[in-house]
Amino acid sequence: AQSVTQLGSHVSVSEGALVLLRCNYSSSVPPYLFWYVQYPNQGLQLLLKYTSAATLVKGINGFEAEFKKSETSFHLTKPSAHMSDAAEYFCAVKGGGGADGLTFGKGTHLIIQP
Amino acid sequence: NAGVTQTPKFQVLKTGQSMTLQCAQDMNHEYMSWYRQDPGMGLRLIHYSVGAGITDQGEVPNGYNVSRSTTEDFPLRLLSAAPSQTSVYFCASRGGYNEQFFGPGTRLTVL
């Protein structure tokens, strides 16, 4: 079984500041890890994914995440926040193969202050 | 290539009514799934299917029924709607590296 913990249901940063959204996971097998973004009244869009290749993963819109096995973390970062980054962000894990679906964190609402 | 489509976008039901949420994908993915999204809960897996004729339960299956007669379609049925089923429902299909593609969602209110 796997689980995901996202620290902070709301994160507020100033425009131009560093964005850091935290995600810790537990998995009994090597995981696949994902970050999704959800804009208001829309579906989920994949930002980036970790699939056991490079530990530093680059995604769309300038986001990246680093897989740290020793810390069981997959934190999402962006060097400089834009107003358009305001959205809900979800970390998700899938434990290896098998037919089960993704396990999602509860989400972090990112607020960008002008 | 439309990806994953869902209908309707919005629905209001009365307690006890039944309805079917439609989901279709044109990516020839074998794996499809349904999630519900509730405030502060993230997304939770309701049912999934690994191919035509094969379905299984996820984390929160009670009150929902699914079938998979074709690769493209994966409808979700509510047999007797309850207020606790008020939620936003997302259908997804899975491609390589377990990447899931989500539909735009159906916002359901049960009165």
pLDDT reading at A97 higher than 60: no
pLDDT reading at A100 higher than 70: no
What percentage of residues in chain B have a pLDDT greater than 70? 98
**A48-86, pLDDT tens digit by residue?**
999 877 889 999 999 999 999 899 999 999 999 999 999
A107/B42 Cβ within 8 A: yes
A34/B42 Cβ within 8 A: no
Question: For residue B31, which residues of chain A lie inside 8 Å, CB to CB?
Answer: 99
Q: According to the model, what pLDDT value does residue A57 have?
A: 94
What is the least distance, in Å, from the CA of A21 to any CA of chain B?
15
Antiparallel, parallel or unpaired: β A108-113 and A10-14:
parallel
What is the least distance, in Å, from the CA of B106 to any CA of chain A?
10
pLDDT profile of chain B (111 residues), mean per 10: 91 97 95 92 90 91 96 96 97 83 95 96
Instruction: Judge whether B26 and B1 are in contact, CB under 8 Å.
Output: yes
Q: According to the model, what pLDDT value does residue A41 have?
A: 83
| Residue B111: closest CA among B78, B85, B76, B72 | B85
Question: For residue B44, which residues of chain A lie inside 8 Å, CB to CB?
Answer: 104
Q: According to the model, what pLDDT value does residue B76 have?
A: 98
For chain A, positions 84-103, list CB contacts with chain B under 8 A. 90, 92, 94, 99-103
